[in-house]
Amino acid sequence: MLNLIFAQLINGITLGGLYALIALGYTLVYGILLMINFAHSELFMSGAFVGLGVMTLLTSATVATKYPAMAPAQHFFTQGGTAGLISMLLITFLSAMVVVGIMGVATERFAYRPLRHAPRLAPLISAVGVSIFLQNAVLLWISPQQLPFPNPFGDSVAFTIGTTSISTLKVVIVVTAIGLMIALDTYVSRSRMGKAMRATSQDREAAGLMGIDINRSIMLAFFLGPALGAVAGIFSGMYYGSIVFNMGFIPGLKAFTAAVLGGIGNLRGAMLGGFVLGIAEALGSGFISTGYKDVIAFAILILVLIFRPGGLLGESVVEKV
């Protein structure tokens, strides 16, 4: 019994790390533009596909026979022990982050910026349009089927507690997720650009009057969020072993729930919300019912919103007349 709780707790933390990474993207954008970026789940999915492409390029034997120049590099990445593995992963993650980050910025530029002064629902519909577009682009131009995603850590076990063994992949996911969150938090609270972002989110017009380039702050939010989403996308490919064009929808919905749970617009809230949701879901599917695990997630969300409308870390809202 205790073992089951423990194993589910580990799964929950892993899942929570992924949710939190995606949730940060929602919350960053909401914090600045007050819009729900529905296309974020598709950027997460794109991250997984870009990651798979880069990994294939760096390790696949077919690529090596086609382009012999790649062979020595590939030899290092596949046979080079820990150093090779780490550099391969770094290249994969960084390139996916950059590509997806640019996709995020492009989405903002073409789909949302023209609508900044439109009625509130317009950007939402536009985001749904982008989401449909990206899904179908991957479906048509890459693959309509599930693609297998390699797990470079294999079955290796990081450590064993009692009878529960914890895989290296899970440890890597949690450590990376927490590391990225600390980095983002530090960046937003300490750096000059972070300060500009916070100012923009507080009052766009006043920030503009103070000489802050609000477009740059907004673009930064649309770069950072999707870049973190791309990391989550690659990890979830490794975790579940396959990726498909519509894989973004459910995690996106959950991560969004997590963002709201923590208090949308609040970075630390999104992290907390991600972990709470992941753990609740893992425990729920272990002890109540797998089929109802999504009901648990949404029921928690609804209860929190009804009793604490601002989310766990958000302030309650008083309407001014």
Partner 1 sequence: MAGTKMDINTKVGAGKASPLKIALYTLLAAALIIVPLLFEGFGWIFVTHIMALVGLYVMLALGLNIVLGYAGLLDLGYIAFYAIGGYSGVIVGAWAYSHAKVLGPFIYFMMIPVAAAAAALTGIALGTPVLRLRGDYLAIVTLGFGEIVRIIITNNPFGITNGPAGLPRAGQFIPSPLGLEYMQNHWYFTIPGLGPNGFNFQFDNNLYWYYIVVLLCLLTIFVVRRLDQSRLGRSWAAMREDEVAASSMGVSITRAKLWAFSLGALWGGIAGLTFANFQQFVSPESFTFMESVFVVCTVVIGGMGSIPGAIVGAVIIQGVPAMVQGLAAAGKLPGVDPATATIIANYRFLVFGLFMVVMMAWRPQGLLPSKRRAAELAEEGEAAEEESETLYDAQHDTGMPGE
Per CB under 8 A, contacts with partner 1 among 273-302 are 289, 291-292, 294-295, 298-299, 301-302
Nearer to partner 1, 166 or 267 (CB): 267
DSSP 70: G
Cα–Cα distances (Å) from 94 to 218, 244, 257, 272, in that order, read 21, 21, 27, 25
4 vs 128 by CB, closer to partner 1: 128
Segment near partner 1 (CB under 8 A); pick from 84-92, 114-122, 210-218, 225-233: 114-122
Nearer to partner 1, 213 or 268 (CB): 268
Q: What number of other Cβ atoms are within 10 A of residue 117's Cβ?
A: 6
Judged by CB under 8 A, the residue of 96, 111, 243, 283 near partner 1 is: 111
- Which of 67, 110, 159, 287 is in the footprint of partner 1 by CB under 8 A? 110
Q: How many CA atoms lie within 13 A of 234 on its CB side?
A: 30
Q: What DSSP string runs through 78-117? A: HHSHHHHHHHHHHHHHHHHHHHHHHHHHHHIIIIIGGGTT
CB of 46 to partner 1, least distance (A): 14
Residue 193 and residue 32: Cα distance in Å, rounded?
A: 13
Q: How far is the CB of 251 from partner 1 (least distance, A)?
A: 13
Does residue number 148 form part of the binding site for partner 1 (CB under 8 A)? no
Q: Is 202 in the site for partner 1 (CB under 8 A)?
A: yes
Q: Any idea of the CA torsion for 247, 249, 253, 258, to the nearest 10 degrees?
A: 30
Binding mask 224-263 for partner 1 (x = CB under 8 A): -------------------------x---x--xx--x--x
Which listed residue (198, 208, 242, 286) binds partner 1 by CB under 8 A? 198
Is 192 a residue that touches partner 1 (CB under 8 A)? no
- Beta-carbon contacts of residue 228 (< 8 Å; ≥ 6 apart): 21, 22, 24, 25, 97, 180, 184
Q: What is the gyration radius of the CA atoms in the chain, in angstroms?
A: 20
34 is an interface residue for partner 1 by CB under 8 A = yes
